[in-house]
Amino acid sequence: MGYVIAGYLTTLVGLGAYALWLAQRAKSLRRDRVQ
Amino acid sequence: MSETRRSSSGRAPALLGWASLVLVGATVGLGLVLPKSAEQAEYSRLIAIHPPVAWVSYVAVVVAAIAAIACLLTRRASFDRLNIASLEVGAVFTALTLATGSIWSRPTWGVWWRWDPRLTTEALLLAVLVGAVALRRALPPGRGRAVVTSVFSLATLGLLPLVHFSVELWRSQHQRGTLLAPDPATNADSPYLGAMFLGFVAFTVLYSWMVVQRARIEALEEDADELMLGRAIAERRAEGLGPSDPAPGVA
């Protein structure tokens, strides 16, 4: 079951990290535009 | 390449985000409780994520190529933004396709990596996608950058048949397609197919949300570049005038 968990975790962590980066980058750029 | 940008603060992206969260959660929940198969034991549970993630990498390349053609024909900046957004998100999904495939191959093939036609062509696709994103970052904004990105998108589209049909063209250990050419010998029974289709929907919705976000970031970065350029020009003009120089047009 370890490989199955590793496969799911890799996908979730990878996509989650990218989604967070997108959200943070958009937030930062919007804040800069307001200033 | 300039055009008026509308504010994209609608509710659709938020809805897409929440929908993708729920659907991906459901896919993971369903995938982890799939029954063990006779051939691959519990490793069949990876069917809920690996094929759907690979599917999205295909979708991303096709969408990027369509946006590239539209960009070349219409010169609209929105298609250029869609193009790079889809390429970058596609690179993420392609990397995850290779990672999950490698994790699946370790217990079933006995190795993490093999220079198998499917794996090799998929790695080539990733290299081209990453190269396109990296090259774009090195180029100044404008029509030239949009054309270069479009050419890369069309190159990745050319690679796609090679990736998909690599298992038919060469001797490959990778499983052949089981959806378009069903093989009774495979174990893609209804519970597995159900989880896999849910994964297709979930990751496609997530891809859509990511592309919308990435295209929005591209628009914001273009705005920031224009703003900085405007400020720099204004500063240079102010330096050129100096405190004692008369303003142009003033006698």
- The minimal CB distance from B213 to the residues A1, A6, A22 is found for A22
What residue in A sits closest to B226 (Cα-Cα)? A33
- Does this model's pTM top 0.80? yes
> What pLDDT, on a 0 to 100 scale, did the predictor assign at position B126?
95
- What does each C-alpha distance from A15 to B29, B67, B107, B171, B216 come to in angstroms? 17, 23, 24, 32, 18
pLDDT digits (tens, 9 = 90+) for B88-145: 999 999 999 999 999 988 988 888 998 988 899 999 999 999 999 999 999 988 889 9
> What pLDDT, on a 0 to 100 scale, did the predictor assign at position B123?
94
Record the tokens describing residue B147, joined without a space: 């054309």
Mean pLDDT of B36-41: 74
Please answer yes or no on whether B96 and A15 come within 8 Å at the CB atom. yes
Please answer yes or no on whether B43 and A11 come within 8 Å at the CB atom. no
C-alpha closest to that of B85 among B179, B185, B219, B183: B219
- What does each C-alpha distance from B169 to B23, B117, B128, B146 come to in angstroms? 35, 9, 21, 34
Q: CA-to-CA distance for B7 and B169, rounded, in angstroms?
A: 47
Please answer yes or no on whether A26 and B46 come within 8 Å at the CB atom. no
Give exposure, B84-117, as e/b (b: 16+ Cβ within 10 Å): bbbbbbbbbbbbbbbbbbbbbbbebeeeeebebb
Please answer yes or no on whether A22 and B31 come within 8 Å at the CB atom. no
pLDDT digits (tens, 9 = 90+) for B39-92: 777 788 888 899 999 999 999 999 999 999 999 999 899 999 999 999 999 999
Q: CA-to-CA distance for B77 and B71, rounded, in angstroms?
A: 7
Identify all chain B residues contacting A8, using CB atoms and an 8 Å cutoff.
Answer: 28, 31-32, 46, 49
Q: CA-to-CA distance for B41 and B167, rounded, in angstroms?
A: 23
Say if residue A30 is exposed, middle or buried (CB neighbours under 10 Å; 0-12, 13-18, 19+): middle
> With an 8 Å Cβ cutoff, is B221 touching chain A?
yes
- The minimal CB distance from A22 to the residues B104, B217, B221 is found for B217
More confident residue, B228 or B206: B206
Please answer yes or no on whether A29 and B224 come within 8 Å at the CB atom. yes
Preferred mutation among B37, B44, B220 to probe A, highest tally of A CBs within 10 A:
B220
What residue in B sits closest to A30 (Cα-Cα)? B220
SS3 B37: strand
Give the minimum alpha-carbon distance from B216 to chain A in angstroms, rounded to a whole number: 7
> What pLDDT, on a 0 to 100 scale, did the predictor assign at position B181?
54
SS3 B41: strand
> With an 8 Å Cβ cutoff, is B21 touching chain A?
no
Residue that is written with structure tokens 């378009």 in the block: B180
